[in-house]
């Protein structure tokens, strides 16, 4: 396996911490209907607060990324991968940015109150079905698009590792 330039440890930490958060927030989102009615509000709040954390981390990651260019792809990376990886990464960033914003609209116009444990944040907005119904659908579709694209992206990384043996995955792994 050829060695290639690695991502910085900061970029690697951002990538994998956010991966764990997307899995946790996504799972809570998908499961929210399965929880007993009495605890649904609690879990939707956990989903929302973790989603906000994810979004804050994303902003920090984007600032970091603007100051730290990714390493050049290994010399033998194919033309297709070169063309596609940039737009796919950009689309992943875009979905990570937009999905939580639509989630906040859904949450607030459902008349929900953010509970951060130590304090609450109440926007005092009345429940408005005409807003939160369509935004809930949009939030759902964006989340599904994120899962699908992240899935294809992960498969591509595994293809690079196990089929192409070109070190693309290893440069994003810690250690
Ligand atoms: C990348 C981050 C996020 C992902 C991947 C995500 C994913 C999801 C998913 C899969 C659902 C279930 C959709 C369905 O089947 O109906 C959902 C529901 C929801 N999410 Fe998110 N979400 C994220 C961030 C947020 C944030 C930041 C908030 C609010 C601050 C939020 C608020 C909500 C609300 C209010 C619902 C609807 C729950 C209900 O039925 O009332 N989400 N989310
Ligand atoms: C929630 C799931 C995931 C998201 C949202 C995500 C997002 C991203 C983003 C935005 C980048 C671009 C980093 C940059 O250059 O700024 C990236 C790079 C990368 N990701 Fe992921 N990722 C996810 C899961 C995975 C998984 C499961 C794997 C491995 C199986 C993986 C492997 C990689 C690799 C190897 C790179 C570097 C690609 C290159 O060198 O061009 N990712 N990821």
172 lines ligand 2 (CB under 6 A): yes
Residues ≥6 apart with Cβ < 8 Å to 37: none
- Angstrom distances, CA of residue 162 to CA of 65, 83, 151: 27, 21, 16
Q: By alpha-carbon position, which residue is closest to atom 40 of ligand 2?
A: 168
Residues ≥6 apart with Cβ < 8 Å to 57: 14, 17, 18, 21
- Angstrom distances, CA of residue 29 to CA of 65, 99, 147: 28, 12, 12
Q: Quick one: which H or E segment has residue 114?
A: strand 114-115
pLDDT of residue 2: 44
Q: What angle do CA 108, 57, 141 make, to 5 degrees?
A: 50
Chunk the chain into consecutive blocks of 10 residues (it has 175) and report each block's average pLDDT, rounded to whole numbers: 74 98 98 94 97 98 95 89 96 98 98 97 97 98 98 97 92 92
92 lines ligand 2 (CB under 6 A): yes
Contact 54, 23 (CB under 8 A): no
Best probe residue, ligand 1, of 32, 57, 133 (max atoms within 8 Å of C-beta): 32
pLDDT of residue 4: 56
169 lines ligand 2 (CB under 6 A): yes
Measure the CA–CA gap between 144 and 6, rounded to whole angstroms. 30
């Amino acid at each position: 396996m050829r060695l290639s330039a690695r991502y910085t440890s900061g970029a690697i930490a951002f990538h994998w911490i956010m991966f764990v958060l997307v899995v946790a927030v996504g799972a809570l989102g998908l499961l929210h209907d399965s929880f007993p009615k009495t605890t649904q509000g609690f879990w939707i709040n956990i989903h929302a607060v973790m989603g906000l954390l994810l979004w804050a981390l994303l902003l920090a990651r984007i600032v970091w990324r603007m100051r730290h260019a990714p390493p050049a792809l290994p010399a033998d990376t194919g033309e297709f991968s070169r063309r596609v990886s940039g737009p796919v990464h950009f689309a992943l960033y875009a979905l990570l940015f937009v999905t939580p914003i639509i989630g906040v609209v859904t949450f607030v116009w459902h008349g929900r109150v953010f509970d951060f444990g130590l304090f609450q944040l109440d926007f005092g907005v009345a429940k408005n079905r005409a807003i939160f119904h369509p935004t809930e659908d949009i939030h759902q579709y964006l989340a599904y698009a994120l899962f699908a694209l992240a899935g294809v992206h992960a498969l591509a990384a595994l293809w690079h590792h196990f089929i192409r043996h070109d070190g693309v995955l290893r440069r994003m792994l810690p250690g």
